[in-house]
Structure formats: C-alpha cells, structure tokens
C-alpha cells in the first residue's frame, strides 16, 4: 500500500467505522446519564428528547484513526517521527471534549466554556502546533515571535471552535458542513504540499487531520441525519472546530512559499476560513446582530441562517441540504483556482451561484414529515415517558 491517498482513505474509513459503531453505545450512555436535549424554548426545532454527547463517539474515531495512521507508517511515518503534532492534536482533543462533556451535562457559564476552549488551544500550541510565520501580500514572509504566534494561534483555534459550534442547530448540519470543508481542504492540501508549489520545513498533519474529520463527520451523520437519534452536543461541535482549526494551523504554520501565485496562495491562512465560509458568515452575522440589539454575545436567538431558512418555509431536511450546497460551492470554489484557472472557473461558479439562489428561494410551507413529532412521542416528554427534565442547551448559538 504505497499510495498516500490510499493511506488517507484507510484512516478516514477507520474514523468512519469506529464513530458509526460507537455512537449507539454513546446513545445508551447519554440516556443513563440523563444527557438529553429537551424541547422547551423558541430556538429548538426538535419535538422530543434527544440524547447528546455524540462527540464522545467522534473522539473514539479520532483516537482509532490516529492509531491506524501511526501503525501504517508510509506517508505518516515522518510526521510521527519528526514532529509532536499528533501529540498536540490528542492533548487539544481530550481537553476540548472534557469541556464539552461538562457543558452538555451541567451547562457551563459562557466565560468558563471560553476559558476551557483557550486551555484546549493552548495545549495544542504548547505541544508543538503553532503559527511561526505567514505570508502577507506585498510584505511576503512575516515572522511571528513565539509570544505573538501563541496568541494568534489560540485566537484562530478558538474562532474555529465557535464557528462550528454556532452552526450546530439542525440535525446533520454541523457534521455535514465539516465533512464538506474537510474534503475541500484535503484536496487543496494534497494538490499543494510537496508539489513544488508549496514547500514545508517539516511534515504537516493537515491532510491527516482532514481525513480524520471527514471520517468522523460522515460516521456520525449515520445517526445524526434528520430525525436525529443523537446530537453531537458541544462535545462534538467544539471537537470538530478544534480539529479543522488545527488542520489550518498545521498547513499554514511552516510553509516557506505561497501555495499559489494568486490571492489564495498569498494568504494561505485564509484557506481554512474560506472552506468554512458558511459557519464564519453565520458567526459574523450573529455577533453583529446581537451587538446591534445590545444583547450578550452568548445569548441564543433564532436569527441563524438555518433558522431563517426554516422561517422562510424550507423543511428541516431541505434547509440542511441548501446549506450543504452553499458550503460545497464556497469551499470547493475557494480552492478551485488551485486546479483550474480562475478565468475558466468563474463562469461555472456564477452558474452554480444562480442555481443556489434558486434553490434557496424555493421555500415551501409543506414541512409535514420533517417537523411532526415521531409516532408515540409527545412534545416535551422523554422517550421513556418520564416527566421532562429542565431544558438543556443544544449549543451556545
């Protein structure tokens, strides 16, 4: 098995199988612990109690995938032998999952959760994954001091964590968007690393992390597609955000030449942001909206993109698929110039954007099967017939 792509496929399949296989166990564990997300406020679109803590299954997928990558060697051997990036990834993942579990079980104050996110990001940095220098148009290489690099890296990771967390509002939405982003980023990284277009001083874990994210996201979708049998909770959303952020940091941190001669290569740090354009746009709108309304940034509302699509008339599934479409268009459109000249790509992007606008405009009030309670389940009750517990927040959004 000499092909690097085949090695990455094995890692992704491992993450997929383990995550999908462990998730039913996590469902039972969540029910036993009382980790259920109950309907009960205006932001929730589900009508029955749903187990959460799905991020635990994702963590199992991450651990299994990294173990398989280490055992396979091949293109991963230099990464494990000459860098501590896999250790940094494990430390950050374990810390962010602990924070997420605590939040899903008892509901942490926003400041405490933010502190936990910073600690997880700090763990990633201290164990060897940090921005060292970046490319800026007209300036070329800008070296970052260790202190400045630490701060910038932590800010980037925390921003990515919260971008994914904020979009986790519909069944299958966050997982699917992260799979799309990971696939686009994987394609971009494979096309630029080791090709003479982009050189690195040491091996990068970017492609490995992207493969892992694609695998755990797809594996979780088996159980999270509407109607979801489990939610990922903050445990899973923050884990996905940290992993994608780490992939971007690893890719960008030590590049010694731009990844392309155009805009995308001049600022490679933008690539991870562009492939997650939908979560970042949603986060930006949320910050502006709440600032204009003079509301705390951590206060939830129904102004997110997925809420607006449902309010416009889309069913639950259709709203998710519309956001999948836009995510794919923005993600693959962003990395497309690496493969196809912009002059040839632009007309296709404009046509695809027109199709997207048409799909978005085709709202309908016929949402029957997507919003009706499942048979035998009354809104506001647990599946076991017990009285409803105090509502849990599905996300901080």
The answer, yes or no, to whether residue 367 has pLDDT greater than 80, is no
Under a CB-based contact definition with an 8 Å cutoff, are residues 359 and 322 in contact?
A: yes
Report the b/e string of 378-396 with b at 16+ CB within 10 A.
Answer: eeebbeeeeeeeebbbbbb
Interatomic CA distance for residues 120 and 128, integer angstroms: 13
What band does 356 get if pLDDT is binned at 50, 70 and 90? Answer: confident
Under a CB-based contact definition with an 8 Å cutoff, are residues 240 and 40 in contact?
A: no
Binding residues for Mg(2+): 165, 234
What band does 393 get if pLDDT is binned at 50, 70 and 90? Answer: very low
Cβ partners under 8 Å of residue 73, min gap 6: none
pLDDT of residue 237: 94
pLDDT of residue 169: 76
End-to-end CA distance of the chain: 44
The residue ranking higher by pLDDT, 191 or 150, is 150
pLDDT of residue 309: 72
What band does 145 get if pLDDT is binned at 50, 70 and 90? Answer: confident
Dihedral sign, CA of 269, 272, 274, 279? negative
Alpha helices in 257-315 (DSSP H): 263-266, 270-275, 277-292, 305-312
The answer, yes or no, to whether residue 396 has pLDDT greater than 50, is no
Query: Which of 71-75, 133-137, 165-169, 298-302 ranks highest by mean pLDDT?
Result: 71-75
Q: Per-residue pLDDT tens for 22-77?
A: 999 999 999 999 898 877 655 555 567 899 999 999 999 999 999 999 999 888 99
The residue ranking higher by pLDDT, 305 or 333, is 333
Dihedral sign, CA of 18, 20, 21, 25? positive
Let me know the angle formed at the C-alpha of 95 by 134 and 177, rounded to the nearest 5 degrees. Answer: 65
Q: Give the three-state DSSP class for 140.
A: strand
Average pLDDT estimate for 94-118: 94
Let me know the angle formed at the C-alpha of 97 by 240 and 300, rounded to the nearest 5 degrees. Answer: 70
Binding residues: 165, 234
Under a CB-based contact definition with an 8 Å cutoff, are residues 309 and 278 in contact?
A: no
Instruction: Tell which residue, 77, 76, 158, 72, has the closest CA to residue 122.
Output: 158
pLDDT of residue 103: 93
What band does 332 get if pLDDT is binned at 50, 70 and 90? Answer: confident
Tokens linked to 41: 């406020």
- Which residues partner with 200 through β-bridges? 255
Say how many CA atoms lie within 13 Å of 391 toward its Cβ. Answer: 14
The residue ranking higher by pLDDT, 270 or 176, is 176
136: which DSSP letter?
Answer: E
Alpha helices in 34-106 (DSSP H): 55-72, 77-82, 85-106
Average pLDDT for the chain:
79
Under a CB-based contact definition with an 8 Å cutoff, are residues 320 and 170 in contact?
A: yes
What band does 335 get if pLDDT is binned at 50, 70 and 90? Answer: confident
pLDDT of residue 251: 82
pLDDT of residue 290: 66
The residue ranking higher by pLDDT, 298 or 385, is 298
pLDDT of residue 191: 82
The answer, yes or no, to whether residue 172 has pLDDT greater than 50, is yes
Which region among 81-90, 147-156, 211-220, 332-341 has the lowest average model confidence (pLDDT)? 332-341
Q: Per-residue pLDDT tens for 255-311?
A: 555 444 334 444 445 556 666 667 667 767 766 766 776 776 656 656 666 666 776
pLDDT of residue 387: 40
pLDDT of residue 307: 61
What band does 382 get if pLDDT is binned at 50, 70 and 90? Answer: very low
Interatomic CA distance for residues 131 and 133, integer angstroms: 6
């Amino acid at each position: 098995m000499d092909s690097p792509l085949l090695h990455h496929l094995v890692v992704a399949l491992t993450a997929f199988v383990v995550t999908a296989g462990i998730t039913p166990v996590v469902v039972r564990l969540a029910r036993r612990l009382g980790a259920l997300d109950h309907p009960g406020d205006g932001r929730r679109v589900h009508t029955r109690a749903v187990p959460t803590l799905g991020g635990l299954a994702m963590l199992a997928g991450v651990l299994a995938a990294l173990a398989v990558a280490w055992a396979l060697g091949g293109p991963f051997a230099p990464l494990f032998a000459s860098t501590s990036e896999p250790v940094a990834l494990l430390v950050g993942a374990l810390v962010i999952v602990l924070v997420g579990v605590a939040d899903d079980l008892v509901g942490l104050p926003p400041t405490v959760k933010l502190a936990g996110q910073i600690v997880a990001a700090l763990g990633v940095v201290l164990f060897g994954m940090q921005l060292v220098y970046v490319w800026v148009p007209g300036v070329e290489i800008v070296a970052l001091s260790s202190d400045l690099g630490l701060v910038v890296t932590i800010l980037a990771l925390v921003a990515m964590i919260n971008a994914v967390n904020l979009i986790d509002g519909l069944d299958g939405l966050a997982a699917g968007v992260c799979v799309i982003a990971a696939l686009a980023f994987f394609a971009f990284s494979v096309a630029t690393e080791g090709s003479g277009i982009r050189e690195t001083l040491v091996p990068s874990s970017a492609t490995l992390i992207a493969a892992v994210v694609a695998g755990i996201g797809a594996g979780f979708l088996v159980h999270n597609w509407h109607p979801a049998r489990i939610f990922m909770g903050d445990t899973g959303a923050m884990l996905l955000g940290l992993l994608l952020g780490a992939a971007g940091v690893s890719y960008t941190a030590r590049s010694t030449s731009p990844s392309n001669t155009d805009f995308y290569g001049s600022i490679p740090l933008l690539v991870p942001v562009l492939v997650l354009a939908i979560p970042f746009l949603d986060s930006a709108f949320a910050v502006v909206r709440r600032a204009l309304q003079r509301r705390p940034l951590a206060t939830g509302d129904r102004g997110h993109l997925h809420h607006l699509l449902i309010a416009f008339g889309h069913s639950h599934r259709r709203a998710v698929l519309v956001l999948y479409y836009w995510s794919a268009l923005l993600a693959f459109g962003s990395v497309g110039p690496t493969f196809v000249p912009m002059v040839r790509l632009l007309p296709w992007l404009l046509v695809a954007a027109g199709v997207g606008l048409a799909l978005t405009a085709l709202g309908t009030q016929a949402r029957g099967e997507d919003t009706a309670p499942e048979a035998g389940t009354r809104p506001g009750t647990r599946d076991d017939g017990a009285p409803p517990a105090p509502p849990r927040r599905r996300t901080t959004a």
